[in-house]
Amino acid sequence: MGDGDDVGRGLRAFLARELQAEDLTITGLRRHIEGFSWETWDLTADWSSNGHRQRRRLIARRVPQAGLAPPYDVPGGWELARVLRSAPGIPLPEPLWIDAAGDATGRPLFFMEHVDGDVPAPWNSHKYFRDAAHRATVGRDLVRILAAIHAVPLSSLPAELRGFDDPSPIAEVAHFERVYEQSRDAPEPVLERAFGWLAANAAAVSGRRTLVHGDFRIGNAILRNDDVVAMLDWELAHVGDPVEDLANFAHRLYRGKLGIPSGLLSVDELLAAYAEEAGWEVSPQALKFWLVFNDVRSAVMFHVAARLFADGATRDLRYAAFSRQQPYLLRHVMADLHVDG
């Protein structure tokens, strides 16, 4: 099944079975085009229950035809969401139903509640927030949530989560080096040198092991009435160094026109707020290490996107555009490594 009509029929049949409602209908079905990972379908379900008409807006997250962050572990992501829903201080949409086998639409998916609000993007954050005080308030709220994520006991996490059984301080670096090696046509000298630099500087990491969101930033947070009401997009979640999340928050791709982490806080403000919330200070060396890694990871994922389009795995022209942006990312990596050219 591929088009919206087929997906809609599959989703309706699945929900009718889960809710035991033969009269269930769905309206307003649309696919969000934002993002490059999960397929996200928005819909409203209407059905009868105990003589009363029920109506609920829902989100279905489906494994994509060609995504940038494989493998897509639907049961693992489902279990992680259930764990985090019970953890204090982490706003998350409620996970509702799961189709792990993909019987409904041909690919695995899960449903979660729809959360009303706005999702400011990095490139428009300077327009979304009223002033510096507004930006700082939201930034500190995000830091509080990040500290809560890092405080989740590892023993409560799904054992299948990447990095759970790997004590290496740079297991996530090794993961993306494998992704690079599997997707390349020929060696890319800049990335080859960058992975060598990361291996040689592994001692710079914090040495801590926590749950890591993997893509924590503005753009993955739903805001309503100035409050962060949900964190989204956990497909890159893993166990690793928590400083990786801070570096992603401060990643150059997400600094917007203001040139500060997620368009919200300066680097110094970010680190000070995190030290206050988490109770420990991030070293400049650890932050530098993971900032380099985030540039490298972005370059790898852009390469994967271009390769997926070239191989015919997707017709999404945004994937093709990544091949034109790749040289700019490689220049960022070269600057990280103080390489001229």
Q: Does residue 69 lie within any of the structural domains?
A: yes
Q: Do residues 48 and 136 both lie within one domain? A: no
Q: Do residues 273 and 295 both lie within one domain? A: yes
CATH of the domain at 60: 3.30.200.20
Q: Which residues of the chain have pLDDT under 50?
A: 1-2, 340-341
Q: Does residue 262 lie within any of the structural domains?
A: yes
Domain count of the fold of the chain: 2
Q: Does residue 341 lie within any of the structural domains?
A: no
Burial of 159 (0-12, 13-18, 19+ CB in 10 A): exposed
Q: Does residue 85 lie within any of the structural domains?
A: yes
Range of the domain at 40: 4-113
Q: Give residue 67's pLDDT.
A: 80
Q: Do residues 105 and 238 both lie within one domain? A: no
Q: Do residues 101 and 213 both lie within one domain? A: no
Q: Do residues 89 and 184 both lie within one domain? A: no
H/E stretch holding 180: helix 171-183
CA-closest candidate to residue 232, choices 91, 136, 111, 99:
91
Q: Does residue 227 lie within any of the structural domains?
A: yes
Which of 60, 90, 113 terminates a domain? The answer is 113
Global pTM value: 0.94
Which of 51, 82, 113 terminates a domain? The answer is 113
Q: Does residue 161 lie within any of the structural domains?
A: yes
Q: Give residue 3's pLDDT.
A: 61
Q: Do residues 92 and 168 both lie within one domain? A: no
Q: Do residues 131 and 157 both lie within one domain? A: yes
Spatial contact of 180 and 195, defined as CB atoms under 8 Å apart:
yes
Q: How many CA atoms lie within 13 A of 100 on its CB side?
A: 7
Sign of CA dihedral 114, 71, 218, 205: positive
